[in-house]
Amino acid sequence: MPNWLFKSDPETYGWDQLEKDKQTRWDGVANAVALKNLRSTKPGDAVFIYHTGDEKAIIGTAEIVSEPYADPKHNDPKLTVVDIKAVKRLKKPVLLSEVKSRKEFADFALVRLPRLSVMPVTDAQWKLLEQMSR
């Protein structure tokens, strides 16, 4: 199964709200590359939820629970959304500064393309990020 990282502004919709809601529609993605990535997701895929802004940290994990579909709030078939459910809060958030300090993440989109809101995470990156969250 592929792995992903979804970025969110915690003041708009953060991990605490996802935990409370248990499941949500992930919307608001407009960048062409991020939309291409979002359209590549499948039910069962794992997702890291990353908080932007002052936090700049991976906070928790979620799971894709729907196929990608057109955003019902917009009359534009290019705008895609998926439904996700909360899985678990990380024991320790993984800070962006920690990720950037590790050579293993030199090619990670979070480091190379910092404004991209939906990005793939390799299995090796996923495992290392999980280790860093303990």
**Token match 């939820």: residue?**
49
**pLDDT tens-digit map of 50-92:** 999 999 999 999 999 999 999 999 999 899 999 999 999 999 9
Q: Do 77 and 88 touch, CB atoms closer than 8 A?
A: no
pLDDT at 7 over 90: yes
C-alpha 63/C-alpha 45 separation (Å) is 6
Fold of 3-132: ph1033 like fold (3.10.590)
C-alpha 47/C-alpha 87 separation (Å) is 9
**pLDDT tens-digit map of 98-120:** 999 999 999 999 999 999 999 99
**pLDDT tens-digit map of 78-87:** 999 999 999 9
pLDDT reported for residue 129:
98
Q: Strands 57-64, 23-26: parallel, antiparallel or unpaired by DSSP?
A: unpaired
pLDDT at 24 over 80: yes
pLDDT at 1 over 90: no
C-alpha 75/C-alpha 86 separation (Å) is 28
**What is the number of other CB atoms lying within 10 angstroms of the CB of residue 129?**
24
DSSP secondary structure code for residue 9 in this structure: -
